[in-house]
Structure 1
């Protein structure tokens, strides 16, 4: 048979298993769908509660729901980080580690059948027992790093604020299962043949080319940004009311405020943020999370006295429920995004060219904010060096510079539009996924484990 008539390689069989946080689950699910759309067989492992919350799938992905074991003290139905209070995260780790035996059984059954045997298991950072199961069955492992390459950099002295350094110390504390987060990461990372990062040279030319050396890994593959697909139209309920409110606002006049779901602000900081919005005098749409230190039923219970009445619907809209972030950011009325700087939120904001006002909270958010501030797509809110707190004047100053002051806004908008061209480059991101598949095939063909 001549080379021109050779058959295409068979599809890969891939198991993907993310950590129980939607900032991990959704990018992994986007990767799963992109792999499945190329004809590969993908099994995506999570828990029933998380699977039930996934958006409709665009491709044939096999969703494997492993029931999360009961742990005393963990709230009923709490299966992801955004449904678990921050002080109970150790209980979520304990429940998560209880998935070790069910996952080992799932993988053993798949490996016992040559027609189902996985070619790869793609893991998150914390699954040391899943990495051990893959090694036992001689299934090669890959790690998906849903962070930017900036996370691997060692900044110069004085660049990282004291409060961020103290929060990073939490990575070295055992939160359950006898291993710290850093130990879990190291265990998995050392056993993976490939590390794939949700970034690329175009997004981080200053960092990505050096990330393999920084991580001491032979192969770190750029996955691209895995930008989310367009959101379906919002048809009913509070979300429809929110979008109708946006429809009557002038173009570029609204600041969208959303600080993620995992680390709610204490009520005193909610008040400072509210006062800062009022001082700045710009329209806003605020997806407000329940504060970490109070029990409340609606936004009026936690905002400064009179704030809700003075601002709601006239020049502000506040929701305490889930907000359709992609639809909001894509709306012509939105002129900037006040964000906690999770990787997904940054990508989603810049996908629409929205300049950023940045309030990073933990994890990779500080490095993300410094990366974006260096690209002059926005400003960080001034914080207290010791405890990370902020005040209304710092909030108002950052908002005015990004939203209202023509000279600085022009710079931030121009640079955000440059980043939009990268975030919205479908060909670039599809090429990154294709190259990732080629690396998987290359390792499989060479018998690399």
Structure 2
């Protein structure tokens, strides 16, 4: 009887303390869950993105935005109405994380109301577009004041933005759509602001701050348009100065490249900038949705042999004169190689050209789904202006490049890649940049069919594992997110490459 009583009391006591323990455990779990939720809430950043008005800049900014959104962060992507309409549709899982913020582009004299992108205006009107872009300062500041993002990631053209962000206490990162070698060639921010280069010849030599052997420099004909003022130079602010302030007043620099490709240049860049420098990876493109344009192109490509076609495209901004278009056309004809050639405007090809190459060559005027074309198995080579976007897309699918640089940094990209044994450059006159059909034909045949070009084709295929590697891309973005969330601008003093 007594033992039964004692046992019952023990059971009751155990039950009593078990209840207390369970209650405490439930309370602890709830408290821990709340703390974790609070911590997650604290780690979610609001990041504003503000690219320059060019599709070659908008798309990589959007790619980076998507990767940041996949990490759980909120993105405000800022541009003008027509440019936002041109962007691909967001995947459903990211539509709630990325908000498009539209600012109408102010009207200025000499610029069409429908001109909102560099692809909408000729080269000599680019400065007018930048003058209109600069007038976005006021609405952008108002938006930043109202929304208070944690970071703003911006482009080279908005040299006025870092001071606005600093005034509002917003961390700021310059995102370079140019590779590390190009940034090193441009030099430290002080040299850019002072514009110590004043003649075309100054750009045709490797700068004194490059301590290792390099061939990364402009040719004379490539730089004349870069140095000389255009007829519509209305802003009074050169690209050099824009770069200088955008880089110099940033809290960190993000570069669309990776040290695995250009390690020596990333090392030099950290020395030149003396601030955190992070690679974003190459941000390989996504495949666009099918449309009627692609259906027609695919039908033609499907009829060609594997790796037999050279895709020819000089981008949305570069323009060739009539003589250059003629020599390029005749060169493609002489190469006896299948080709798909994209022109942005009505063709100026020689009389009878399209009839003579019918079946072997196709000429298309206007927009094309470039990524799908480069992915197609019949395409083996890419005759390109060597803009960095096109380089990433072409090598991301292992296509062997043929270089025909036209403007901006394209000559520097060409030297960088050629120095690594990637691709062939069409021979041109050093002074005026002229080329003939034979140099085009020889370059195409070397890359596409000649035995001597086998090493070039093999090297391009190897590059696919680097330029098209999304896993490496995610790793680089993870490092950027870690820096942005844990260090911010005030306590950061070193970079991770």
Q: Secondary structure at the match of 1:188?
A: helix
Q: Secondary structure at the match of 1:45?
A: strand
CA contact 2:153–2:175 (8 Å) conserved in 1: yes
Residue 400 of structure 2 aligns with which residue? 355
Distance 2:120 2:319 in 1: 11
Shift of 1:160: 3.2
CA contact 1:257–1:338 (8 Å) conserved in 2: yes
Residue 210 of structure 2 aligns with which residue? none
Distance 1:75 1:355 in 2: 38
User: Is 1:211 matched up with 2:269?
Assistant: yes
Q: Which runs of 5+ in 1 are unaligned?
A: 111-116, 291-297
Shift of 1:173: 11
Q: Deviations over 1:39-79 (max 9, x none)?
A: 10110100001000000113231100100011122123110
Distance 2:144 2:230 in 1: 30
CA contact 1:172–1:181 (8 Å) conserved in 2: no
Q: Deviations over 1:255-286 (max 9, x none)?
A: 00000011211111111100000011100000
Residue 12 of structure 2 aligns with which residue? none
Distance 1:264 1:172 in 2: 16
Distance 1:171 1:223 in 2: 33
CA contact 2:417–2:423 (8 Å) conserved in 1: yes
**Closer, same or farther: CA 100–399 of 1 in aligned 2, 3 Å:** same
Residue 381 of structure 1 aligns with which residue? 426
1:154-169, aligned counterparts within 5 Å?
154=185, 156=206, 160-169=218-227
Aligned length: 429
**Closer, same or farther: CA 172–448 of 1 in aligned 2, 3 Å:** farther
Residue 269 of structure 1 aligns with which residue? 324
Residue 113 of structure 1 aligns with which residue? none
More helix by share: 2
In structure 2, which of residues 77, 85, 88 is the aligned counterpart of residue 55 of structure 1? 88
CA contact 1:375–1:415 (8 Å) conserved in 2: no
Q: Secondary structure at the match of 2:109?
A: coil
In structure 1, which of residues 400, 412, 417 is the aligned counterpart of residue 461 of structure 2? 417
**Closer, same or farther: CA 147–69 of 1 in aligned 2, 3 Å:** same
User: Is 1:14 matched up with 2:14?
Assistant: no
CA contact 1:356–1:379 (8 Å) conserved in 2: yes
In structure 2, which of residues 143, 167, 170 is the aligned counterpart of residue 139 of structure 1? 170
Larger radius of gyration: 2
Shift of 1:171: 8.3
1:422-437, aligned counterparts within 5 Å?
422-437=466-481
User: Is 1:303 matched up with 2:349?
Assistant: yes
Distance 1:378 1:246 in 2: 23
Residue 152 of structure 1 aligns with which residue? 183
In structure 2, which of residues 251, 265, 283 is the aligned counterpart of residue 226 of structure 1? 283
1:45-444, aligned counterparts within 5 Å?
45-58=78-91, 59=94, 60-110=97-147, 117-154=148-185, 156=206, 160-170=218-228, 175-213=233-271, 215-232=272-289, 234-236=290-292, 238-290=293-345, 298-299=346-347, 302-312=348-358, 314-408=359-453, 410-444=454-488
In structure 2, which of residues 42, 57, 67 is the aligned counterpart of residue 24 of structure 1? 57
Q: Deviations over 1:392-431 (max 9, x none)?
A: 11111110110120232x1011111111111122211000
Q: Secondary structure at the match of 1:367?
A: helix
Q: Give the TM-score of the pair, scaled to structure 2.
A: 0.82
**Closer, same or farther: CA 431–160 of 1 in aligned 2, 3 Å:** same
CA contact 2:252–2:489 (8 Å) conserved in 1: no
**Closer, same or farther: CA 365–445 of 1 in aligned 2, 3 Å:** closer
CA contact 1:93–1:175 (8 Å) conserved in 2: no
Q: Give the TM-score of the pair, scaled to structure 1.
A: 0.90
Moved more, 411-420 or 44-53: 411-420
Distance 1:56 1:354 in 2: 27
Q: Deviations over 1:269-304 (max 9, x none)?
A: 1111000000111000001122xxxxxxx43xx110
Distance 1:316 1:266 in 2: 21
**Closer, same or farther: CA 206–400 of 1 in aligned 2, 3 Å:** farther
Cα RMSD for the two superposed structures: 2.3
